[in-house]
Structure 1
Amino acid sequence: MFMKNCWYVAAWSHELIDDVLLGRTLLNQKVLLYRGSDGKVNAIDDRCCHRGALLSKGRLEGNCVRCMYHGLLFDGNGTCVEIPGQETVPPDLKVKTYKVVDTGRLVWIWMGDQTLVDESKIPEFPYLNDPEWHGFPDYLHYQANYQLIADNLADINHIAYVHTNTLGGSERYVMEQTASPLERFEDGFRLTKWHMNSDLPPFVRKIDKKMGKVDRWNTAEMKVPALFFLESGFSPAGTGIQEGNKEGSHEFHNFQAMTPETEETTHFFWVYMHNKKQDVELLSHSLHDSILEGFHEDKDVIETQQKVLRDDPTFRLRAIAADAPLSHLRWLVSQRIKEESERAAAQS
C-alpha cells in the first residue's frame, strides 16, 4: 500500500517538451502526462474509457489527446469532447484526472483524494530555481520498492562501505563521525553528521586536487513518503565550520525523490548542485558523473536486496541504532497509510 494524499514527483518539467505524451505508471496507476498548447501540464488516466487503449500512444491536438484506436478525443479535464462519426457524446464518457503542478523544474502530482489537494504542501527545493546553483537533473529506474531506497538514504553511514572509493572515501567515516540529535518531525526528520580532519573523498578530489584535510558535514532532511534533501560540504580542517564559517568550503545541495511505480519498482528523480562561479558546466558534469557512479553502487545493493526479500517473504528486517531515522520515516508512512484507510472506510 502507498500513501496517496500527498505530493509525488511525476516528472521533470523538461520531460514534457516537444509534444511528448509521457505514459508513466505511478502507484500502480497508468497515468498520461502531457503539456497542452496552452502550456498547462495535464495528468489523465492512460486508458481510453472506450476500449482501454493507451492514450500515450495517441496524438496531441492542442490541449486534447486523441486515442488512435477509434479516434475519441479527450481534453485535459478527462472529458471526451468528440467521437468521430457520432454526433453526441455521452456526458459520462470520461477518464480519471489527477491534480498536477508544474513548478518550473518539477511536475508534482496528487494521486489521492482530489478534494484534499493542497498546493501549499508541495515540498520546496529552492536551489532548482536559483541561478547561483547549478546541476544536471536526471532520472533512474529501480527494480526495488521505494522504501528500500529511502532506507538507504536515511542512513548516511552506508557511504563508508558502499561508496568507499567514490563518495565516501574511507570506512573511518562511521567510526570517527559525530552527529547532532535526531530531529523528529510529523512529516520527516533532520540530522547532521560531522567528520572532522578527514581526507577528501574521490569525487571532490576530482574537482580540487590541492585541498588538504577537511571538516566534512552532511545535513540530511527527509519528508514522507520518500523525499530526500541533503546539504553537504567540505571545509578546510579547523576553520570553524561547526560555528558557521564556510569560507573556502565546497558546498553542495542534493535532491532525490522516490515515486513508487509498483510495489517492487520505483521512479528515482535526482539532482546534485554546486554554486561555483568558474568552470560551471565542467564541474556540473564531473559531479553528475561521480554521483551517478555512486548511485549505481547503491542500485546494485538495493535491487539485490529486493530479490532477497522477494525470495523469502518470511524474512524480517532487524534494526540497529543507526536505523533511528529510517525507522521514524517508515513509522510516519505507516501511520499516514492507516489514517487514509480509515478515512476511506468511513466514507464508504
Structure 2
Amino acid sequence: MFIKNTWYVIAWDKEVTGDGLFSRTVIGVPVLMYRTEDGKLVAMEDRCCHRGAPLSIGKRDGDCVRCMYHGLKFDATGQCVEAPAQPRIPPQAKVRTFPVVQQHRWIWIWMGDPAKADAGLIPQTPWLDHPDWRSLDGYIHYDVNYLLICDNLLDFSHLPFVHPTTLGGGTDYASFPPKVERLDNGVRVTRWALDTEPPAFVKAVRKEWVGKKVDRWNIYNFTLPAVLIMDSGNAPAGTGAPEGRRVDAVEFRGCQAITPETGNSTHYFFAQPHNFSIDNPEVTKSIHQNIVKAFEEDRAIITAQQKNLAIDPEFKMVPFAMDAALSQFRWAVTRRLEQEAAEAAAARVPQPVTLHREPI
C-alpha cells in the first residue's frame, strides 16, 4: 500500500523537544520520537515488544524510555535493558528503530530497510531556515487517502475555482496549459500565466498591484513519496519574467510534504518562504494566513470528494488533459510499489544450495 524505502517528513524540528516524548503514525506504523541528552534524535516503534502498549505514554529515564504498563526500560537503540524482577533480559526483547535525519527544520524518517537509508536522497529545502527567506510552519491533518491530496497539488487548474479569494487570481489561470516532464522519481510541472490578475494573497502584500496585471509562474518538482518543492511568483506583466528577468517580483519557494498516516488519513507539512519584505513579520503572517486558508479550502473539497468516492468503490474517474501530471505521478508510485514487492518476494525465495565435492 505504501512505499517503504523512502524518506518521509514526520515532524517539524520544534515538535520533538529535549525532554518530552512525541508520537506520530507514519504509513500505518506508530512511531515514538525523542532527543537524547546530547540532542540526538531517536525514532522507534511506539509499541512495547512485551504487550504492545504505547511507549509514548511512558516516561523518560535519561536517554531511555520506560513503558508504564509493566515497567520495561528501553535504550536509544530500542534494546530492553531492564525488566522488574527479571535479571536476565531476552536478547529478542527489542523495539524496532528507524533512521531519522533533521534537515532544514524538517525531520525525515526512513520506514524501510535501514541499510538503504541514504541521507543524500532527502529533497533539499534550504529556504526553510535560510536568513534571506522568511516563512511560518504549517501542518494540517487530513482524513483522506494521501493520493487524493497529491492529485490536487499536481493540477493547479483548480486554483480559480477552489481558491477565488486566496490563491486563485483570474479565472483565466486555468486556461494556461502546464508543461509536464517525467522525472526518475516523479514529475516536473511548469505553468506560466501571462498578463493575468495577481492572486489575492499577493495583492494583500502588494496593494499597488490591485487592478494591474502580472506574469505568474508555478514551477515545481513533485517527487516520491509525495514532496512538492516549488519556485513560484509574480512580476509586473511584460517585464521579462519568462526570460528570467524577475523585475520587482514577489518570489516564493513552496515546500510541501504529504506523509500518509494510514490508508485514509494523512499528515500535511507546508511552508511558503518568501524573499521580499523579510524584515516585516506582518507580511510573513499575511502570506501564511492566506496559505492556511487556501489549504483548508483544499481539505474541504478533497474530504467531500473522498466521502463521495467511498459511496461507490466501483466509480471510474474520467481522465482529462489536465490530469497529465497526476497520472504520471500515480504511475511512478505504482512502479515503485511493484519494485519493492518484487524485491521482497525475491528475498523470501530460498536460494539453491550448491554442494562442494572434493575431487576423488
Which bracket does the TM-score occupy, shorter chain normalised? over 0.9
Confirm whether residue 114 of structure 1 aligns to residue 114 of structure 2: yes
Q: 2:182 aligns with which of 181, 184, 187?
A: 184
The structural deviation recorded for 1:178 is 4.9
Aligned AA (1:8): Y
* Residue aligning to 1:77: 77
Residue 209 (str. 1) matches residue 207 (str. 2): yes
| 1:89-116 deviation per Cα after TM superposition (whole angstroms, max 9, x unaligned) | 1111101111111114011111112222
Secondary structure of the 2:256 match is: strand
SS in 1 for 2:272: strand
Q: Which residue of 1 is the match for residue 102 of structure 2?
A: 102
RMSD, aligned α-carbons: 1.3
Tell me how far 1:88 sits from its aligned partner.
2.0
SS in 2 for 1:166: coil
Distance 1:83 1:61 in 2: 14
User: What amino acid maps onto 1:208 in structure 2?
Assistant: R
Task: Tell me if the contact between 1:125 and 1:255 (Cα under 8 Å) persists in the aligned partners.
Answer: yes
User: Within the alignment, does 1:344 sit opposite 2:344 as a pair?
Assistant: yes
* Counterparts of 2:201 and 2:123, CA distance in 1: 28
Q: State how many pairs are aligned.
A: 346
Number of the residue aligned with 1:249: 249
| Alpha-carbon distance change, 104 to 164 in structure 1, aligned in 2, over 3 angstroms | closer
CA–CA separation in structure 1 for the residues paired with 2:167 and 2:117: 38
The equivalences for 1:186-335 within 5 A come to 186-211=184-209, 212-335=212-335
2:215 and 2:238 in contact (8 A); partners too: yes
Question: Which amino acid letter does the alignment assign opposite residue 207 of structure 2?
Answer: K
- SS at structure 2 position matched to 1:90: coil
2: distance between equivalents of 1:20 and 1:267?
A: 21
Q: Secondary structure at the match of 1:167?
A: coil
Q: Is the 8 A contact 2:132 2:278 kept in 1?
A: no
Q: Normalising to structure 2: TM-score of the pair? A: 0.93
Code of the aligned partner of 1:251: E
Separation (CA, whole Å) in 1 of partners of 2:97 and 2:316: 38
Which amino acid is 1:92 matched to? Q
Q: Secondary structure in 2 aligned to 1:183?
A: strand
Q: What is the DSSP-based 3-state SS (H/G/I as helix, E as strand, rest coil) of the residue aligned with 1:150?
A: helix
Aligned to 2:5: 5
Please identify, of 184-193 and 321-330, the stretch whose mean Cα deviation from structure 2 is larger. 184-193
5+ unaligned residues in a row in structure 2: which ranges? Answer: 349-360
Q: Quick check: which has more Rg, 1 or 2?
A: 2
| Identity score, percent | 46
- Any gaps of 5 or more consecutive residues in structure 1? none
Look up the match of 2:351: none
After superposition, give the CA deviation of every residue in 1:130-155 in whole Å (9 maximum; x if it has no partner). Answer: 11011011111001011100000001
Q: How far does residue 262 in structure 1 lie from its aligned partner after superposition?
A: 0.5
1:27 and 2:27 are equivalent in the alignment: yes
SS at match of 1:87: coil
Distance, in Å, in 1 between the alignment partners of 2:177 and 2:267 is 33
